[in-house]
Amino acid sequence: MNKRTAYSEIFKKYVPIEFASMLADLLIGTNVKFKVVRGRKTKLGDFRYGSDLPKPIITVNGDLNPYAFLITALHEFAHYHTYMNYKNRVQPHGEEWKSAYRTLLIPVIDSKHLPKDIETALMRSLTNTKASSCADIHLSRALHQYDLKDEEPLLCLEQISKNTTFVLNGKHFVKLNKRRTRYECQETTSGKIYLVHALAKVTIIEL
């Protein structure tokens, strides 16, 4: 089994089968170590480099649904290409990264293998590329539709009513006013106000 076939077989476990070879080709064409890691609450993936690393590293959370894994991987490969072309002379999510990311997204969109809602959200993102899929509310909402459903599915914050008490990361909050893509939420014990993403998964507390 050659390297391309071997990588494709691995990627088929994480992305829609139509895109496994695409990611394999991207990996073969780079000098990067690609790691699938356990789910992290603070990020979906990252790109790291440094004098202490033999080669740059891309990590992607292994618990993402196939479409979210694909988009996150492309996001990080765009960081790799930006770094190779500009090193540290540009902003992490500046125009150079946006251009690299769009270049990787276009073949995916043109393939016509994406669900229509994700394709539409990605087309929209080409004209207003965000630093992450979570920051793009339309893309994030589309991707969440393909998450595996729990036996007792959690609700997104935007789905519950104002003044509802809920649990997030073990803390109790009350949902307040909307501010763009986030909501003001008051922690019940401290009274502090936090901004929570509209698509954060929460559990309602019945009072």
* Residue type at position 171: K
| DSSP type of residue 84 | H
What is the third-level CATH fold of 155-204? Answer: SH3 type barrels. (2.30.30)
* Residue type at position 68: A
* Residue type at position 35: K
Q: What is this structure's pTM?
A: 0.76
Q: What is the pLDDT of residues 91-148, one digit of tens each?
A: 988 999 999 999 999 999 999 999 999 999 999 888 777 666 566 778 888 888 888 6
User: CB of 36 within 8 A of CB of 56?
Assistant: no
Q: What is the DSSP string of 145-173?
A: TTSPPPSSPPEEGGGSPTT-EEEETTEEE
Parse the chain into domains and list their residue ranges. 3-144, 155-204
